Structure 1
Amino acid sequence: MIKVDNLSYSFPQKDLYNQISFTLDDGQHCAFIGSSGSGKSTLVDIIMDSERYMFDGILEIDPNCRIGYVSQFSQLDKTNKTTVFEYIAEEFIKLQHEIASICTEMETSSNIDTLLEKYQQALDVFDAIGGADFESNINKKLHLANLNKQENQMVSELSGGEFKLIQVIKEMLKSPDLIIMDEPDVFLDFENLNALKNLINSYKGTLLIITHNRYLLNHCFNKIIHLENKELQEFDGRYIDYNLSLLQSKIETQELAIADTDEIMRNNILIDKLRFIATNNSEASRGKTLKARVKVQERLETRRIKAPFVDIKQPVIHLVSDHEIEETVALKVTDYSVAFDDILLENINFEIKSTDKVVLIGSNGTGKTTLLREIFKNDHPSIEINKDIDVAYLSQLQNELLNESHTILEEFFDAGFKTYEEIKSYISNYGFGKEVINQKIGSLSGGEKNTLQLAKFSVGKANMLLLDEPTSHLDTYSQIALEKAIKNYKGAILMVSHDFYFIVNCMDFVLLIEDKAIRKISMPKFRKMIYANHFDRDYLEIEQKKKSLETNIELALQDTNFELAKVLSEELEKLIKSL
């Protein structure tokens, strides 16, 4: 269906691809992964509209291939008075009206042949997208996504997560040859994430999906395309098996690299000795010996292992409080209520201590972000923040903290940095090289913007953090770095998130919004609740064991204990086969 062969492409600021190649065949469900800013969305844009781009290499797409697309930046139109069913069925209804109009015209027209041709064309299009059964198919998809009750609801009344699922359903029902989705999982709650998983797995056509969501990666794909450091590799199989192969490659690569490095060091010492001898001795044979040894060194350098897919720099995220305070109540909420058209929260009460790490969860549209904003504004009579607490807020809307018309350099001068070198050194920890320091923030990828937002946010050194979906758009490496930063943070955190792995790895307890109220849940109880409602039995326990083994392998590699790393990788392989 799609063939990319030795494709290269560059922005003015940086090279994106260096002779990358891959194929996508009929029926494959392909996950497209890679670090933020590696060029995934740009490659999708090239596939969607190749004539806009000047690239080297070959891009072949079946000329009959119809492509559907679900954007990561779709916005819900609150003025839309269309029902969910009408919105999904829009193309079918339009064709029905067109066919009916042609039939009406044929009753009075003398130009029957032309109208018959138009009628047959419209009918062919209608049949090609499954028009005969479209009502039944819509109902099946809505049921699969657990949205059948919303069939007659206005689109404007949907939550953001529900609207994203509706868009996925709408594209699937058009029956394109290929559907491309760019991070369709962003901001989905647990229930909607499972619904997306069900939709993906039930789809018989070809899918290419950019995602960093670990749950979807583990459950939905039979092919992986990984773009990293300007290079690309493809893997036919599950993501969990691909990840294991990367870890095994890393063990082998580092072991070989150490051997190569030792040999290069020995050779350097020998070259220095030969150069000294040749300098003080005019015999031609001395110079020839030196040249021969230099050529050996060049061969060693050339063969030194290059590993763009296993040697990926993880950003270093620091969340530091300016001053720690003794454990006390940092935040107290008493009889708080909020309503828009309907009551979202009613007479809720909770408190957070100065060292608590708390996650606020609930279905999309239940008032989580509204509550977080109210706490940050601190002008509501029901909200009381300790006078010794400094609060910082990370919004899920990136342009609230970042000025997208600024360059990265300008943004950090505004944040209080004094010199170019200071800014360059600081943002390099977050994966931004000097080549992008003068790049406009608006031109960055969603993941790069979120990472940059974290970098700017971290400067404040507040001792209470309000985080609204902090992992959205972040690649898996940045997610893990943020997990480490939150674990090491000494202040209080109140976070809105739907990332189960992130919650379990970082948080002390859960505040669950349900039926307009909030109740406190311990982590063990929360885990059981999530198992019962959203995940396969024992899946998460195995995931935790898997994560523990991966961590121990990384520690063994840091100590260059390759024998231990290999033993642990064999244990990990057995565990993965049990999934």
Structure 2
Amino acid sequence: MIKVDNLSYSFPQKDLYNNISFTLEEGQHCAFIGTSGSGKSTLVDILMEPEKYMFEGKLEISPDYRIGYVSQFSQLDNTKEITVYDYIGEEFIKLQNEITAICTEMETSSDLEPLLEKYQEALDAFQAIGGDNFESNITKQLTLANLNKHEGLAVSKLSGGEFKLIQVIKEMLTGPDLMIMDEPDVFLDFENLNSLMNLINSYKGTMLVITHNRYLLNHCFNKIIHLENKLLQEFDGRYIDYNFSLLQTKIELQELAAADTEEIKRNEVIINNLRSIATVHTEASRGKSLKARVKIQERLEARRIQAPFVDIKQPAINFVADSIPEETVVLKVKDYSISFEDMLLENVNFEIKSTDKVALIGANGTGKTTLLREIYKTNQESIELAETINTGFLSQIQGEMLHESETILEEFFDLGFKTYDEVKTYLSGYGFDEEVLQQKIEALSGGEKNILQLAKLSAVKTNLLLLDEPTSHLDTYSQLALEKAIENYKGAILMVSHDFYTIINCADYVLIIEDKTIRKMSMRKFRKMIYANHFDKDYLEMEQKKKTIETKIELALKDTDFELAKVLCEELEELIKLL
């Protein structure tokens, strides 16, 4: 349906693609993955409006090809008084009204021919988007997304997550040839995320989805496109199988590299001996032997370079804690209430100790972000922080903690960095190359802005981190690096997150918002609740076993025990078949 052949494209600041190629075939559900800032959203823009871009290579796409699109940046319009039903059916209702108006006009017109032509055009357009059954289709999709009760509700009354689902339904309903979605999962709570999964899996057409969400990646797609280091590779199959293929490749490459390292050492001794001899004896044959050995060495060194999709560098996130006595209560919330039009939270009480890692969870629109922001501002009598507490805050509204009109360099000078080289060295650990330091922050991708916030938090000492959706827009490699940083942090963390994997891997317990109050829940109960509602009963056990085997493989690779790594890989393959 779409064919991209040897496409190359550059911004003034950096090259994005180098002769990349891929195809999208009818009915495929394709996940588009890659590190933050690698150019995924730009490639989507090229697919949708190729005439706006000066790229090299070929893009084959039919001129009458219809593309549906859901942006990662869509905002709820609070002024809209239109109902959910009318918003979703907007295009259908407009054409339906046009057809009715033409029919009414034909009743009194003496010149029917142009009206008949207009009528046929409107009817064709209506049928092309599946208009014949649009009323029942709207109801079916709303039911699938668990939003059927909202059919007559004003759009302005929806939460941000509900509005995102409504947008997805609206675009899907017109039956485009290709449905493109750019991080549709950002900020969705787990119930809405599950609804998005149902919508994706029920869609019969072709789909291209930029996502880093591990839940969607593991449950929705039959093709993977991976963009990394200006290159792209395709994989026909599930994300879990793609990751397994990368692991197999990694074992092969590391085994080859270990053998090459021994050969390089042996060759180095020979080269040094030949150089020593060459300084005394000037025969041409000895010079040729030396050159031949040097060429062999160069080939061995080149072969050691890791494949761009296998050994992807994670950002060096490292939160530094100020020392504080253990068991100190760093945060106490007592009889806290918050309301806007309606009461969100009422008489909430909880406390967090100096090393607690806590996830604050609840449905979209229940007051989680408001509470986190008020803790950071500490302007409420009901919120008490311990003395000498240094608090760090990561906001899901990225412009709140970043000066987007400034350059990256200026942002870190403001933070206290003294020299250009100091900033350059520090940010290189977060994947920012020297050429982007003079770039304005507003030009960065959503993932890059989040990584920049994490870099700022890592540059100062804190006792309490308040993280509002810290994994949003982050690629999976950065998510894993963040989880490791949270685990290693010696201070306290209160984190709003809808990412099931991050909560499971990082939190000591959860604070769950229900019925306008907050109650503490153990991780065992949280896992049981989530898995009972959304997974098969054996899924948790198999997931844990999978993680254990993967850890054993990593340890085997560190010990260069490649035979053990291969045996474990076979065991992992059998488990993946069950998943």
TM-score of the superposed pair, with normalisation by structure 2: 0.97
Match status 1:204 vs 2:204: yes
Q: Aligned residue for 1:433?
A: 433
Query: In the TM superposition, what are the counterparts of 1:141-152 in structure 2 within 5 Å?
Result: 141-152=141-152
Match status 1:113 vs 2:113: yes
Match status 1:575 vs 2:575: yes
Distance 1:528 1:117 in 2: 61
- Against the structure 1 CA distance between its residues 421 and 23, is the aligned structure 2 distance closer, same or farther, given a 3 Å change threshold? same
- The alpha-carbon deviation at position 389 of structure 1 amounts to 1.9
1:191 touches 1:534 (CA, 8 Å); kept in 2? no
Q: Aligned residue for 1:218?
A: 218
Q: Tell me the alpha carbon deviations over residues 147-172 of structure 1, each in whole angstroms, 9 at most, x when there is no partner.
A: 00111111111011000000000000
- Against the structure 1 CA distance between its residues 7 and 261, is the aligned structure 2 distance closer, same or farther, given a 3 Å change threshold? farther
- The alpha-carbon deviation at position 225 of structure 1 amounts to 0.6
- The alpha-carbon deviation at position 360 of structure 1 amounts to 0.7
Distance 1:73 1:483 in 2: 25
* Greater CA drift, 304-313 or 169-178: 304-313
- The alpha-carbon deviation at position 405 of structure 1 amounts to 1.6
Q: Aligned residue for 2:368?
A: 368
- The alpha-carbon deviation at position 284 of structure 1 amounts to 2.4
Query: In the TM superposition, what are the counterparts of 1:247-258 in structure 2 within 5 Å?
Result: 247-258=247-258
1:553 touches 1:569 (CA, 8 Å); kept in 2? yes
Q: Tell me the alpha carbon deviations over residues 454-494 of structure 1, each in whole angstroms, 9 at most, x when there is no partner.
A: 10122221101111000000111111111111111111111
Q: Secondary structure at the match of 1:57?
A: strand
- The alpha-carbon deviation at position 257 of structure 1 amounts to 1.7
Q: Secondary structure at the match of 2:186?
A: coil
Distance 1:257 1:576 in 2: 27
Gaps of 5+ in 2: none
Q: Secondary structure at the match of 1:225?
A: strand
- The alpha-carbon deviation at position 540 of structure 1 amounts to 2.5
Q: Aligned residue for 1:398?
A: 398
1:511 touches 1:519 (CA, 8 Å); kept in 2? yes
Distance 1:355 1:295 in 2: 55
1:450 touches 1:474 (CA, 8 Å); kept in 2? yes
- The alpha-carbon deviation at position 20 of structure 1 amounts to 0.9
Distance 2:443 2:349 in 1: 42
Q: Aligned residue for 1:26?
A: 26
Aligned-residue Cα RMSD (Å) equals 1.4
- The alpha-carbon deviation at position 84 of structure 1 amounts to 0.4
2:345 touches 2:517 (CA, 8 Å); kept in 1? yes
Which amino acid in 2 is paired with 1:566? K
Match status 1:15 vs 2:6: no
- The alpha-carbon deviation at position 398 of structure 1 amounts to 0.8
Gaps of 5+ in 1: none
Q: Aligned residue for 1:419?
A: 419
Q: Aligned residue for 2:385?
A: 385
Distance 1:111 1:441 in 2: 60
Match status 1:237 vs 2:237: yes
- The alpha-carbon deviation at position 22 of structure 1 amounts to 0.7
- The alpha-carbon deviation at position 298 of structure 1 amounts to 4.0
Q: Aligned residue for 2:545?
A: 545
- The alpha-carbon deviation at position 88 of structure 1 amounts to 0.2
1:256 touches 1:305 (CA, 8 Å); kept in 2? no
Query: In the TM superposition, what are the counterparts of 1:463-482 in structure 2 within 5 Å?
Result: 463-482=463-482
Distance 1:147 1:155 in 2: 12
Q: Aligned residue for 1:506?
A: 506
Distance 1:297 1:374 in 2: 61
Which amino acid in 2 is paired with 1:399? G
Distance 1:519 1:294 in 2: 68
- Against the structure 1 CA distance between its residues 186 and 288, is the aligned structure 2 distance closer, same or farther, given a 3 Å change threshold? same
Match status 1:170 vs 2:176: no
Query: In the TM superposition, what are the counterparts of 1:482-493 in structure 2 within 5 Å?
Result: 482-493=482-493
Distance 1:196 1:138 in 2: 15
Distance 2:393 2:286 in 1: 68
Q: Tell me the alpha carbon deviations over residues 423-480 of structure 1, each in whole angstroms, 9 at most, x when there is no partner.
A: 1111111111223222221111111110111101222211011110000001111111
Deviant stretches of 4+, over 4 Å = 301-306
Distance 2:110 2:298 in 1: 82
- The alpha-carbon deviation at position 10 of structure 1 amounts to 1.5
Distance 2:441 2:536 in 1: 41
- The alpha-carbon deviation at position 7 of structure 1 amounts to 1.0
Q: Tell me the alpha carbon deviations over residues 258-277 of structure 1, each in whole angstroms, 9 at most, x when there is no partner.
A: 22233234334333333343
Q: Aligned residue for 1:293?
A: 293
- The alpha-carbon deviation at position 70 of structure 1 amounts to 0.4
Q: Aligned residue for 1:194?
A: 194
Q: Secondary structure at the match of 1:107?
A: helix
TM-score of the superposed pair, with normalisation by structure 1: 0.97
Distance 1:531 1:297 in 2: 54
Q: How many residues align?
A: 579
- The alpha-carbon deviation at position 301 of structure 1 amounts to 4.3
Distance 2:274 2:101 in 1: 90
Q: Aligned residue for 2:336?
A: 336
Distance 2:306 2:330 in 1: 49
* Greater CA drift, 103-112 or 473-482: 103-112
Q: Aligned residue for 1:559?
A: 559
Q: Tell me the alpha carbon deviations over residues 190-241 of structure 1, each in whole angstroms, 9 at most, x when there is no partner.
A: 1000000000000000000000111111100010111111111111111111
- Against the structure 1 CA distance between its residues 279 and 37, is the aligned structure 2 distance closer, same or farther, given a 3 Å change threshold? same
- The alpha-carbon deviation at position 323 of structure 1 amounts to 2.3
Distance 2:339 2:298 in 1: 70
Q: Secondary structure at the match of 2:416?
A: coil
1:30 touches 1:223 (CA, 8 Å); kept in 2? yes
- The alpha-carbon deviation at position 305 of structure 1 amounts to 5.1
Q: Tell me the alpha carbon deviations over residues 392-416 of structure 1, each in whole angstroms, 9 at most, x when there is no partner.
A: 2111111111111222111111110
Q: Aligned residue for 2:531?
A: 531
Distance 2:540 2:41 in 1: 30
2:322 touches 2:491 (CA, 8 Å); kept in 1? no
Distance 2:534 2:380 in 1: 35
- The alpha-carbon deviation at position 109 of structure 1 amounts to 3.0
Q: Aligned residue for 1:181?
A: 181
Distance 1:491 1:188 in 2: 28
Q: Aligned residue for 2:131?
A: 131
Q: Secondary structure at the match of 2:310?
A: coil
Q: Aligned residue for 1:496?
A: 496
Q: Aligned residue for 1:45?
A: 45
Distance 1:181 1:476 in 2: 18
- The alpha-carbon deviation at position 333 of structure 1 amounts to 1.2
Which amino acid in 2 is paired with 1:17? Y
Distance 2:38 2:324 in 1: 38
Q: Aligned residue for 2:353?
A: 353
Distance 2:539 2:320 in 1: 34
Which amino acid in 1 is paired with 2:352? I
Distance 1:423 1:557 in 2: 34
Q: Secondary structure at the match of 2:346?
A: strand
Distance 2:324 2:86 in 1: 55
Distance 1:298 1:361 in 2: 54
- The alpha-carbon deviation at position 377 of structure 1 amounts to 1.2
1:253 touches 1:305 (CA, 8 Å); kept in 2? no
- The alpha-carbon deviation at position 555 of structure 1 amounts to 2.1
Distance 1:71 1:167 in 2: 9
Distance 1:305 1:486 in 2: 31
Q: Aligned residue for 1:442?
A: 442
Q: Secondary structure at the match of 1:552?
A: helix
